[in-house]
Amino acid sequence: MPRAALLVSTALLAALMPLSAARAADDPSPTPVDRFEGEVPFAAQPAEGIFTWGGDSDDPPQLQFADRADAPEGAKVLAGTYDISGYGGFTHDFAAAEPAHDWSAHKGIRFWWDGQDNGRKTAFEIKDGGADGEASELWTTSFTDDFTGWKQIEIPFTDFVYRTDYQPVGGIDHVLGLTRMWGYAVTLPVGVQGRFAMDDVELYGKADQSLRASVTTDAAVYPVREGGTASVKVTVATTGSAPLDEPVTVGYETAGGTADSGKDYTPVSGTLTFPAGTASGAAQTIKVPTLKDRSAESAETVPLKLTVTGAKAPAETPQVVIDAHGLPYLNSKLPVKKRVADLLSRMSPEEKAGQMTQAERGAVGTGGDVTAYDLGSLLSGGGSTPTPNTAAAWARMIDSFQLRAQATRFQIPLIYGVDAVHGHNNLAGATIMPHNIGIGATRDPRLAEQAGAVTASEVRATGVPWDFAPCLCVTRDERWGRSYESFGEDPALVKSMETVIQGLQGRADGRDLKDNDKVLATAKHFVGDGGTAYGSSTTGSYTIDQGVTTVTRQQLEAIHLAPYQTAVDRGIGTVMPSYSSLDIVGDGQGPVKMHARADMINGVLKDRMGFKGFVISDWNAIDQLPGDYASHVSTSVNAGVDMMMVPYSYQDFTATLIDQVKAGQVSERRIDDAVSRILTQKFELGLFEHPYADTSNAARIGSAKHRAVARQAAAESQVLLKNSGSVLPLKKSQKVYVAGSNADDLGNQTGGWTITWQGQSGTHTTGTTILQGMRNAGGDVTYSQDASAPTSGYDVGVVVVGETPYAEGVGDVGNGNDLALSAADQAAVDKVCAAMKCAVLIVSGRPQLIGDRLGEIDALVASWLPGTEGDGVADVLYGRKAFTGQLPVTWPKSEAQLPINVGDASYDPQYPYGWGLTTLTKAPQGGTATLKALGAAARAAERRGADATGRDLVTRARLLVQAKVGQSVTAAVSKPFADADHLLLTGRYAAAVEKLAEAYRAA
């Protein structure tokens, strides 16, 4: 049959109905949704029918229409098996070409389930409103498989709640309308092999007004100063905004809580009535007066109990909160240290444990657990965004969570964190900077600071005071999927780019953290994350990410630890340990996960380096430690981790931490140290005085001024590797043929960690592609992505190729990725470059192997991942600005060379670290004599401390050497050339020129 959901006659249905489905006399006939007798096809998303899905290739269940003699209805059932490690289930999307289904006449939905008595919960979800099944609101509930054999599961529509952890589109109206339904989905249990069978999905019962009407309050928490009056707004609303059919009454009374009736507040009680015919959205107000008793005290609660008839009651009892007052920690004039000590002295073990806990915002729903568990922090993981994904919605969401914190005893504000690693990258419409590898290519510390400042401004304007950035990893093997998060392979380069910390936080003493355009920064991932050995990872299918870094003590200090001392000196507020393990040769410990290395976190970071901020774990990182969960908690806390990112297991963490303290496995002194560090940063951020979002800078998000910084960064990040015949810069008079997969793809251009964790191809935010930038520059451009259009009649071709987005270990080489161009990209390069002079731009998070095509390519550009501002790339292509970028990592000839880095004893790359041709500037004339003179001048500049002069002299020497070398890049040239750039970054200008002279003689 053509329809995915059959609508059969009442008479036929009555004949088919099992006896157990007998209905009340006044109920409408049940309406079948799925009978699984062949009317529903299996399909691939997003086609009509049933399709499976899962977290990875093994997670989707296996489904079939199975003949069952015991089928509750008909001959067949939907049967399946599953073994899910991440998440998995199946969906039935109704036909988008047909009208949406109207379920509003019914009480709920029911189906038969073949129970296995496994005690696990199975989530059941329905799709409401929107254009189709994949653009609708998701409403969810669950049932427990605690029975054996067939059982009819009945779910009233009143049991469904709006999903807050994930909405594919959402934001339609947040009301379960039931008049435009597009299907349902089943999410199966995780961590157990199982089977199931399902039959006869149908609608049942008669809808009543309590389904269509609901009573809500405008907030869950109402803070009020002592002596003030709280106003609780009570609203009645109906599906479809129809007037009430019947009266709705709301009885109310103040009862319970921690405040004393008559002493702290005046008790109130009564009834609100919304008569029949009342318009949807009508509201009345209940006022709760509080009283002054003039004594200093913590916050006190006054629950306002509501009893509703004729409509669905609010999900929870609203709380009036009389603000804490008169206590020393609330006095902003006291030194932070005294405020911390006073607050800490008042806190219970449970409150301290809560401060050390960070949950994912999707896990806490509307935020009730923020209060219940005294949570100290929430985060948005990559792609965890409000609906709609706007700056205003971010601010509203975070303010709603902060409001929950106001219902705790001491009203300690939350600190909310996000991974804004190249701009506010979770927010649609934000300014997206080049990833760090591109910032490293600019060699411009001032620009790095400006990029950090733009990011901080946009992040703070959405109510977020904490950024999990910058990544101070020193990438040593470009097979690593996080390579692009690094500024480069040389610790000296990473250190030079740490000006970004001042852009994010302001001055090193923390005095600017209260400002509405600054955020707390995070140095990550401590320590050695960029040095893991290929093949050492034990995380899923990862090959190198989260693996083992094996180094001598000297290598550890010189390469991986060096950037952290700089970060501490710059006042970094938080540090995040790495998932990876550290194996220090000769220390006798072997590989130890960084979250367990007390010698590094307590010993080196906190004691030796003098880090005064707090340490935040990575996402569920403690779960990778050996032993049981109790040992995970005690080991990591004792190692020096102050706050634990336990996104969905925060309840287990807080309970276990308290138990471990009681058992003597974690000392109270250690807990107090951790909580003091966390509270200190909250006070420094000014959150106690201003917990809510300051959106006064919201208009600057994605502004022309901010995008100008990103545009400059994109331009300066472009590294010109080859330019035979001066193909670049292009001239506006030239007819240009543009091709390649990444010429007009904003998602590929911005890479991973953009809107979602892994990023995605296509247009997902606001920005300008490289192709659009070229057109904006006034170029005469013709575009053919696959180069299928005729190639005759053009002056020059520009082929933009490279990678598609990925993040973390998902991007590891060997995990479905390599360093070669795709077949389509290779074909586009071959066709265009055979037909005309050509420039090839590689948009990627790491070098791509291009050596076999270098002969046919006239100009080659490493474009990295330039962000949303393709105009910046066009600026250098068309000569509005010069190419000035330099390689932040070594460009290898083959994958077999990896790892290959500046300073290696054997060093023969395609292009050395520091390589970067220029345009619009002629290289200095002369040879060894000129280099000798530049060296002498550099030595004098070094003695005078004239750093700008010294850098300029080395740059002139580098350009002179590159002009002689051309494309004859040999090992004898490469090694001293790369060493020279390292020496430049360490302020040894004369030695750098000497190395360049050595490269010149070898050319």
- Which residue blocks in 292-444 are alpha helix, DSSP H? 336-346, 349-355, 368-372, 391-405, 436-442
Measured from the Cβ of residue 154, the count of other Cβ atoms closer than 10 Å reads 15
CA dihedral 590, 596, 599, 602 (to 10 degrees): 170
**970-993 per-residue burial string, b: 16 or more CB within 10 A, e: under 16:** eeebbbbbbbbbbbbbeebbbbbb
The radius of gyration of the chain from alpha carbons, rounded to an integer in Å, stands at 31
Burial class (CB within 10 angstroms; exposed 0-12, middle 13-18, buried 19+) of 424: buried
Residue whose C-alpha is closest to residue 149's, from 64, 70, 204, 61: 70
Selection from 461, 456, 334, 343 nearest residue 394 by Cα: 461
Which helix (H) or strand (E) element contains residue 835? helix 823-835
What DSSP string runs through 608-622?
Answer: IS---SEEB--TTGG
Helix (H) or strand (E) holding 411: none
Angle in degrees, CA 753, 756, 762, rounded to 5: 95
Amino acid identity of residue 455, one-letter, is T
User: Which residue among 808, 869, 979, 981 is the active-site one?
Assistant: 808
| Residue 803 annotated in active site | no
Q: Please state the φ and ψ torsions of residue 769, each to the nearest 5 degrees.
A: -75, 170
Give, as one character, the DSSP assignment of residue 413. P
Which strands form 466-467's sheet, in the order they lie side by side?
A: 466-467, 415-418, 377-380, 357-360, 644-645
d(CA 952, CA 351): 56
The per-residue b/e assignment along 691-724, b for 16 or more CB within 10 angstroms, e otherwise, is bebbbebbebbbeeebbbbbbbbbbbbbbbbbbe
Contact 189, 74 (CB under 8 A): no
The pair of structure tokens assigned to 508 is: 């090193």
Give phi and psi for 943, each to the nearest 5: -65, -35
Q: 953, 924 in Cβ contact below 8 A? A: no
Instruction: Report the C-alpha gap between 685 and 203 in whole angstroms.
Output: 53
CA distance 622 to 636: 7
d(CA 602, CA 636): 11
Buried residues in 763-801 as b, exposed as e (16+ CB within 10 A): ebbebbbbbbbbbebebebbbbbebeeebeebebbbbbb
Distances (CA, A) of 622 to 67, 355, 711: 46, 17, 39
The one catalytic residue among 369, 618, 744, 979: 618
Map tokens 């993981």 to a residue: 381
CB burial of 275-310 (b: ≥16 within 10 Å; e: otherwise) equals eeebebeeeeebebebbeeeeebbbbbbbbebebeb
**Nearest CA-CA partner of 544 in 579, 575, 576:** 579
Would you call 942 a catalytic residue per the annotation? no
Which residues, 6+ apart, have CB-to-CB distance to 415 below 8 Å?
376, 377, 465, 466, 520, 678, 681, 682, 685, 687
Q: Tell me the residue ranges of DSSP E strands in 630-675.
A: 644-645
Residue 766 dihedral angles phi and psi, to the nearest 5°: -95, 130
Written as one letter, the residue type at 587 is D
Q: Which strands sit side by side in the sheet containing 592-593, from one edge to the other? A: 548-551, 581-584, 592-593
The residues annotated as belonging to the active site are 618, 808
